[in-house]
Chains A and B, each alone.
Chain A
Amino acid sequence: MGLLFFYSLRNLLTRRLTTILTALGMALVVFVFASIIMLAEGLKKTLVETGSSGNVVILRKSAETEVQSRIDRDQASILETLPEIALGEDGQRLIAKELLVLITMQKKNSDGIANVIIRGIGKHSFSLRPQVKLITGRMPRWGTSEIVVGQSVAKRFKNTGLQRTLSFATRSWNIVGVFDAGDTGFSSEIWGDADQLMQSFRRQTYSSVILRLRNPNLFQGLKKRISNDPRFTLGVMREKDYYLKQSETMATFLRILGISLTLIFSIGAVVGAMITMFAAVANRTAEIGTLRALGFQRKSILFAFLLESLILGFFGGCAGLLFASLLQFLTVSTMNFQTFSELAFRFSITPGIIIKSMAFSIFMGFAGGLLPAFRASRMNIVDSLREV
């Protein structure tokens, strides 16, 4: 077994150039496959990590996102009295009535524009999102036209640095701070006083209410209370589930796109592997005859050539994954079609992606090697031995 493995491996090494080119063909397909799944995973991770399992998002009933949601001031005020809400360090209820509006902004390194989320926040919005941390400047003062911007916004859009002024909603807004929310969607947002923003955008309603539960187990009780109360026309979701749901459409789209593209590319890679292996069989006809003469069965020949093709697939998979893993250091942005806003995120590689990519690559090796290996195993011994 060991010697047969080395036999296959050394045959590949002997034909270095062909081996490298074939493996690179497979590596390209694995790269595309892995990178698109990494993209979907990164998007999902970013949105899922945006939510916290102890927080609850309340939207208008049937609204799927904050963009579509409207909550009257009356209803929002009643929500503040609910007993399930946790108390903050200041003894006040951890609840924030927020506004979400989209504005278009110019990107830094191109003439393109993109939608950016403006989030009107309440006093407890920062406490409810402990992952959001101010990295420069200060917090906006309540009742003023001051805003703080997420790090991804500051990096990607014009005029978004500290002390700069942004004009929107008939006012000029001073940027007094930049915050970092890690790999979450909040990094792609601009935050300011909700009441000031509502006034400027001439909005009479909030978009959402976020609250922290005293105990995560109280969620079902809260949900039941709100749905049974005739004063409310609201829907309740855990914040984590809310963002997970947001990520699903986009991640699924990316996955389908990735798999479709990869399937088309993989046909080329499989044909490449097949040509390589057919050439290997043709060049080693006498060897095959010799091995069969020595007593090796057909299945051993089939196995040896298939193993060679699987090794090719393995090398291709490793190379493709190596290239794809470098993408982790890139941050990309795309339109989040749930909120129609720009969302920055990183490619994310997981053990699952590694396993899937390697399995896919080895399968390509198998598909490419099966016919040539079968042909090798069916060769007539006497005819093969004549091919010296």
Chain B
Amino acid sequence: MRNEELILSINNVFKSYHRGSQIVRVLENISLELERGAFLALMGPSGSGKSTLLNLIAGLDYVDQGTIEIDGVDITTLSETDLARWRSVNVGFIFQFYNLIPVLTAFENVELPLLLTSLSKRERQKHVSAALSVVNMEDRVDHYPNQLSGGQQQRVAIARAIVTDPTILVADEPTGDLDRISAENVLDLMDRLNRDLGKTIIMVTHDPSAGKRAHSMEHLDKGVLNHDL
């Protein structure tokens, strides 16, 4: 694998949490590499540390030890302010419960990340319309989240994730709150984003059928990556 094709490089990462006076080790010596345009599924039982690893990759949390390099930037060295700025440019989030802002319309929810850019209002509108058309939600721009079904909300959330054209998309149980058909639609959409638009996707799931839609799979168990499975 040529180095410039690597988009993610995790080296010897440790992470633990304090629970009262106890220290709970969540990730133990994790190392992982991912090339640009990959679609990786992180799988494992509850409490295995897959969401924690995803949070670290997405720059939502700090490692105790080790480095995480994304597109040439070691995010473990960034300050909180710089990390927030980095996230706004490089990470698109897809959450299990969509996490749309209930008081904003679909259009405004998708526009939200663009407020952190220097784009003009007209340019923002153009980007939002394009993102909503990718997820086939251009006819629901003025709907509030509570006026949309779960599947539709997740599609709006995906539009929000891709609107800034981020380096990676991170998805935490993106189909966990959806019925089978909606879940299939969302997975189809993610597959299309990966295949047609070349988006690098890292998805956490404990649903084997969702995991099978990814191109590669990593298993975590008790905070340790098991490459052999």
Q: State the A residues within 8 Å of B (CB).
A: 1, 3-4, 6-7, 10-11, 13-14, 286-287, 289-298, 381-382, 385, 388
Q: State the B residues within 8 Å of A (CB).
A: 55, 58, 60-61, 80-81, 84-89, 93, 95-97, 99, 101-104, 108, 111-113, 115-116, 160
A295 to B115, CA, bound (A): 10
Q: Which of A11, A287, A294 has the most CB of B within 10 A?
A: A294
Cβ contact within 8 Å between A3 and B87: no
With both beta carbons as reference points, the residue of chain A lying nearest to B56 in the complex is identified as A382
Cβ contact within 8 Å between B85 and A295: yes
Cβ contact within 8 Å between B101 and A7: yes
Cβ contact within 8 Å between A296 and B84: yes
Cβ contact within 8 Å between B84 and A14: no
A1 to B111, CA, bound (A): 12
Known A294-B93, A295-B88, A381-B61: A388·B116 in contact at CB below 8 Å: no
Q: How far is the CB of B54 from chain A (nearest CB, A)?
A: 10
Known A294-B87, A295-B84: A7·B93 in contact at CB below 8 Å: no
The residues of B that contact A294 with a CB separation of less than 8 Å are: 87-88, 93, 112-113, 116, 160
A6 to B102, CA, bound (A): 12
Cβ contact within 8 Å between A293 and B61: no
What 6 A-B pairs are tightest by C-beta distance, nearest first?
A: A295-B88, A10-B103, A290-B99, A388-B97, A295-B87, A381-B60
Q: How far is the CB of B207 from chain A (nearest CB, A)?
A: 18
Cβ contact within 8 Å between A3 and B61: no
With both beta carbons as reference points, the residue of chain B lying nearest to A297 in the complex is identified as B84
Q: Which of A3, A11, A286, A388 has the most CB of B within 10 A?
A: A3
Known A11-B103, A297-B84, A388-B99: A382·B116 in contact at CB below 8 Å: no
Known A3-B108, A382-B61: A297·B87 in contact at CB below 8 Å: no
A294 to B93, CA, bound (A): 7
Known A3-B108, A295-B116: A290·B55 in contact at CB below 8 Å: no
Contact partner of B115 (CB less than 8 A), chosen from A3, A287, A381, is A3
A14 to B102, CA, bound (A): 9
The residues of A that contact B89 with a CB separation of less than 8 Å are: 295
Q: How far is the CB of A281 from chain B (nearest CB, A)?
A: 15
Contact partner of A382 (CB less than 8 A), chosen from B55, B93, B113, is B55
Q: In terms of DSSP, what is the predominant structure of the interface of chain A?
A: helix
Cβ contact within 8 Å between A290 and B102: no
Cβ contact within 8 Å between A14 and B103: yes
The residues of B that contact A292 with a CB separation of less than 8 Å are: 84
Cβ contact within 8 Å between B103 and A7: yes
Known A3-B115, A381-B60, A382-B60: A297·B99 in contact at CB below 8 Å: no
Q: How far is the CB of B228 from chain A (nearest CB, A)?
A: 29
A298 to B80, CA, bound (A): 9
A286 to B96, CA, bound (A): 12
Q: How far is the CB of A302 from chain B (nearest CB, A)?
A: 13
Cβ contact within 8 Å between B93 and A287: no
A288 to B172, CA, bound (A): 17
The residues of B that contact A381 with a CB separation of less than 8 Å are: 60-61
Cβ contact within 8 Å between B99 and A385: yes
Cβ contact within 8 Å between B103 and A286: no
A106 to B88, CA, bound (A): 77
A76 to B26, CA, bound (A): 101
Contact partner of A286 (CB less than 8 A), chosen from B85, B88, B99, is B99
Q: How far is the CB of A340 from chain B (nearest CB, A)?
A: 60
Known A286-B99, A295-B89, A381-B60: A4·B115 in contact at CB below 8 Å: yes
Cβ contact within 8 Å between A290 and B113: no
The residues of A that contact B55 with a CB separation of less than 8 Å are: 382
A11 to B93, CA, bound (A): 23
The residues of B that contact A13 with a CB separation of less than 8 Å are: 103
Cβ contact within 8 Å between B111 and A3: yes
A10 to B111, CA, bound (A): 16
Q: How far is the CB of A292 from chain B (nearest CB, A)?
A: 7
The 9 listed contacts between A and B (C-beta, < 8 Å) are A3-B111, A6-B104, A287-B99, A293-B99, A294-B93, A294-B112, A295-B85, A297-B85, A385-B60
With both beta carbons as reference points, the residue of chain A lying nearest to B172 in the complex is identified as A385
Q: How far is the CB of A379 from chain B (nearest CB, A)?
A: 12
A1 to B124, CA, bound (A): 14
Q: Which of B86, B93, B103, B160 has the most CB of A within 10 A?
A: B103
Q: How far is the CB of A308 from chain B (nearest CB, A)?
A: 11
Cβ contact within 8 Å between B104 and A10: yes
The residues of A that contact B80 with a CB separation of less than 8 Å are: 298
Known A293-B58, A293-B93, A382-B60: A287·B101 in contact at CB below 8 Å: yes
Cβ contact within 8 Å between B84 and A7: no
The residues of B that contact A291 with a CB separation of less than 8 Å are: 101, 112
Cβ contact within 8 Å between B88 and A290: no
A357 to B108, CA, bound (A): 35
Q: How far is the CB of A239 from chain B (nearest CB, A)?
A: 60
Q: How far is the CB of A387 from chain B (nearest CB, A)?
A: 10
Known A293-B93, A295-B89, A382-B55: A3·B112 in contact at CB below 8 Å: yes
Q: How far is the CB of B212 from chain A (nearest CB, A)?
A: 26
Q: How far is the CB of A170 from chain B (nearest CB, A)?
A: 78
With both beta carbons as reference points, the residue of chain A lying nearest to B157 in the complex is identified as A290
A293 to B55, CA, bound (A): 10
The residues of B that contact A287 with a CB separation of less than 8 Å are: 99, 101-102
Q: How far is the CB of A18 from chain B (nearest CB, A)?
A: 14
A240 to B102, CA, bound (A): 61
Q: How far is the CB of A339 from chain B (nearest CB, A)?
A: 59
Q: How far is the CB of B16 from chain A (nearest CB, A)?
A: 14
